[in-house]
Amino acid sequence: NQQSLTMAVDEETGRPVIIIRDQEEKGRITGVQAIKQNIAAAKSVSFILSTSLGPKGADKIIVTPDSEIVISNDGATIMEQMDLEHPIAKLLVDLSKCQDSEIGDGTTGVVVLAGALLDQAESLLDRGIHPIRVADGYDLASQIAVDRVRELSMPMRANCAKDVTPEFKQFLVDAASTALGSKIAQGEKLANVAVDAVLSVADLNRNDADLSLLKVKGKVGGSIEDTSLVDGIVLDKDISHPQMKDVTPDAKLAILTCPFEPPKPKTKYELSISTVEQYRSLAETEQKFFTDMIQRVKDSGANTVICQWGFDDEANSLLMQNDLTAVRWVGGEDIEAVAIATGGRIVSRFEDLTPEKLGTAVEVRQEMYGTTGDHMITIQGKRGYKTVFVRGSNKMVIEEAKRSLHDAMCVVRDLIRAPTLVPGGACAEIAASLRITSVANETDDIEQYALRSFAAALDAIPMALARNSGLQPIEAVAQVKAKQLKELERDPKYKTTLGVDCMARGTNDMAEQRVFETLASKTQQLTLATQVTRMVLKIDDIIGQL
């Protein structure tokens, strides 16, 4: 059907000739064909993610082009690592990134929903409904869904989070655990760390938390349960000399990117020493360089030196004798973090060191952690930085824990901003699906088809949750639906809490299981997935090679 026929006449014989030309331009696909091809691409991506959804969702191993191995359950991470070529697949990557940056959680769900919406749209196109009608119907359905989800929402307290009651904190931990649930085995402990971390940087008067004050740092060793919240920033280093003080209260930090060593000429040189005197004078000159440098540090008023470079034993013992605490080989990123956390300036020449350029810290402390005798240095700057120090048995576990913590911390921050929860376990999706179906039943124009398809697409979420938990999906979802319908008979606006019992706890009541998600995440998922679907439905021409 992509071929075109043209008639021509052979000039010599006068016979008619039929020329069959392949697609006018190679690589160009138009109309419903184009939409369908795009839908197929989107579906294949969302299918990959659907098995990762929920507390029992599977992880994926992704081998990056430079042979690094990433194990993840987080939608945004999987999508980003997949290195997708197809433009529509890339659109879904952006979708999940967008959910990640705005909300932080729900990145798998949003892609699965978009895939299901497109899957359903495809059958509408097959029945001859125009893509724009489908898109418009979806818009309406999405609005109905958002309204219904809002009805289910549970404001945790009338007047937000001004002071953190144990009850409010428990809600935060519950929501953080739901976000972590599928990703990390020991979710509960990490959820507590995430909540403490966000609360430690929260401004409850403004109902916000500045997550940029939270650093997450990982170190192989110990187990996930050893993850802790540290006051200040953490350097994975030792103090350079065992006889230097372990704790420096009221620290004034010289933050240096210049080495403690005599300047080296840039050209090749040779030094010949033939007498003892010459050697002594050379040693003295060298010594003078060191003493000058240390004097400059002392003169500035510093009692702690953070240096990007190493220094030899000579300089090290001089620093120790001068009662300075020093840390060497502090990498570029860390040194910037020290400067920001302590309000100091990074100094690249000893001559430039002045008292105003020093950083200040309540305390610089070397601590031992774990059982391996490893040290870390904590710098408790005045700016109130905190660090979540993640432990785990290998790098992959730590990286996944860091990503999951990010999700959980975003959830907690969102709840401090707007303390409203909805029940998890796809309770919201099922409720929205039922509401849309009932509206569709009362609609007599063509829109009803799109509404029904949207409702069916929403069911994909509980289905995936059930399937991934080893339940019979159709049966499990039908049961929850029937129960919710019963509630609706009594009250059409019933605040249901029934969802899929993924953890086989014997109840569908998500409030009882304490499985909560944020309202913001759920509504964002609905609107973003609808927007992307709409966008795909409106593309009817693919130009260029795929």
- Residue 108 sits in the site that holds ligand ADP (CB under 6 A): yes
- To which residue do tokens 């034993």 refer? 313
- Residue 131 sits in the site that holds ligand ADP (CB under 6 A): no
- Residue 334 sits in the site that holds ligand ADP (CB under 6 A): no
HEC string of 68-109 equals CEEEECCHHHHHHHCCCCCHHHHHHHHHHHHHHHHCCCCHHH
d(CA 230, CA 242): 23
Q: Is 407 a catalytic residue?
A: yes
Q: What is the closest distance, in whole angstroms, from the C-beta atom of residue 43 to ligand ADP in the complex? A: 18
Q: What is the closest distance, in whole angstroms, from the C-beta atom of residue 105 to ligand ADP in the complex? A: 5
Q: Which is catalytic among the residues 119, 174, 407, 459?
A: 407
Question: What is the phi/psi pair of residue 307, to 5°?
Answer: -125, 140
Shortest Cβ contact with ligand ADP: which residue? 424
Q: Is 285 a catalytic residue?
A: no
Name the strand (E) or helix (H) holding 229: strand 228-231
Q: Is 108 a catalytic residue?
A: yes
Task: Out of 104, 109, 359, 392, name the contact with ligand ADP by CB under 6 A.
Answer: 109
* Residue 197 vs 422, nearer CB to ligand ADP: 422
Contact region with ligand ADP (CB under 6 A), list: 196-204, 355-363, 365-373, 495-503: 495-503
Name the strand (E) or helix (H) holding 216: strand 214-220
Task: Out of 195, 233, 439, 515, name the contact with ligand ADP by CB under 6 A.
Answer: 515
- Residue 104 sits in the site that holds ligand ADP (CB under 6 A): no
Count of residues interacting with ligand ADP (CB under 6 A): 25
Question: What is the phi/psi pair of residue 9, to 5°?
Answer: -120, 130
What CA dihedral angle connects 363, 366, 367 and 373, to 10 degrees?
180
Q: What is the closest distance, in whole angstroms, from the C-beta atom of residue 180 to ligand ADP in the complex? A: 8
Task: Out of 120, 142, 153, 182, name the contact with ligand ADP by CB under 6 A.
Answer: 182
Residues 202-231 that bind ligand ADP (CB under 6 A): none
- Residue 178 sits in the site that holds ligand ADP (CB under 6 A): yes
The token pair at 326 is: 């020093």
Contacts of 242 by beta carbon, 8 Å cutoff, 6+ apart: none
d(CA 481, CA 224): 38
For 212, which DSSP code? G
In sequence order, what are the beta bridge partners of 516?
423
Alpha helices in 330-394, H assignment, sequence order: 332-342
Task: Out of 41, 43, 72, 75, name the contact with ligand ADP by CB under 6 A.
Answer: 75
Q: Which of 433, 489, 443, 528 is nearest to 98 (CA)?
A: 528
Q: What is the closest distance, in whole angstroms, from the C-beta atom of residue 435 to ligand ADP in the complex? A: 18
d(CA 73, CA 407): 12
Over the window 400 to 439, marking each residue x when it contacts ligand ADP by CB under 6 A and - when it does not, the resulting string is ------------------------xxx-------------
Q: Which of 21, 25, 74 is nearest to 49 (CA)?
A: 74
Q: Which is catalytic among the residues 77, 108, 342, 530?
A: 108
d(CA 476, CA 190): 30
Contact in structure between 39 and 119 (CB atoms under 8 Å): yes
* Residue 364 vs 421, nearer CB to ligand ADP: 421
Q: In this structure, which amino acid lies at residue 329?
A: W
For 58, which DSSP code? P
Residues 302-331 that bind ligand ADP (CB under 6 A): none
Going 281 to 283 to 289 to 290, the CA torsion angle's sign is negative
Over the window 457 to 476, marking each residue x when it contacts ligand ADP by CB under 6 A and - when it does not, the resulting string is --------x-----------
Contact in structure between 86 and 539 (CB atoms under 8 Å): no
To the nearest 10 degrees (0 to 180), the angle between helices 107-126 and 447-468 is 140
Task: Out of 105, 399, 400, 414, name the contact with ligand ADP by CB under 6 A.
Answer: 105
- Residue 107 sits in the site that holds ligand ADP (CB under 6 A): yes
Q: What is the closest distance, in whole angstroms, from the C-beta atom of residue 113 to ligand ADP in the complex? A: 9
Q: Is 304 a catalytic residue?
A: no
Q: What is the closest distance, in whole angstroms, from the C-beta atom of residue 196 to ligand ADP in the complex? A: 21
Contact region with ligand ADP (CB under 6 A), list: 104-112, 125-133, 221-229, 409-417: 104-112
Q: Which of 413, 305, 299 is nearest to 359 (CA)?
A: 305
Residues 1-60 that bind ligand ADP (CB under 6 A): 52-55, 57
d(CA 111, CA 94): 10
Q: What is the closest distance, in whole angstroms, from the C-beta atom of residue 339 to ligand ADP in the complex? A: 35
* Residue 80 vs 122, nearer CB to ligand ADP: 80
Contact region with ligand ADP (CB under 6 A), list: 107-115, 296-304, 316-324, 384-392: 107-115
Contact in structure between 335 and 235 (CB atoms under 8 Å): no
Contact in structure between 73 and 58 (CB atoms under 8 Å): yes
Q: What is the closest distance, in whole angstroms, from the C-beta atom of residue 95 to ligand ADP in the complex? A: 12
* Residue 152 vs 500, nearer CB to ligand ADP: 500
Q: Which is catalytic among the residues 107, 178, 342, 420?
A: 107
* Residue 379 vs 480, nearer CB to ligand ADP: 480
Q: What is the closest distance, in whole angstroms, from the C-beta atom of residue 528 to ligand ADP in the complex? A: 12
230-252 per-residue burial string, b: 16 or more CB within 10 A, e: under 16: bbbbbbebbbbbeebbeebeebb
Task: Out of 229, 254, 517, 528, name the contact with ligand ADP by CB under 6 A.
Answer: 517
Contact in structure between 59 and 467 (CB atoms under 8 Å): no
Residues 352-411 that bind ligand ADP (CB under 6 A): none
* Residue 134 vs 397, nearer CB to ligand ADP: 397
Contacts of 198 by beta carbon, 8 Å cutoff, 6+ apart: 172, 209, 211, 214, 409, 412, 413, 416
Q: What is the CA radius of gyration of the chain?
A: 31
* Residue 192 vs 448, nearer CB to ligand ADP: 192
Binding site for ligand ADP (CB under 6 A): 52-55, 57, 74-75, 105-109, 178, 181-182, 424-426, 465, 499-500, 502-503, 515, 517
- Residues designated as active site: 74, 107-108, 407
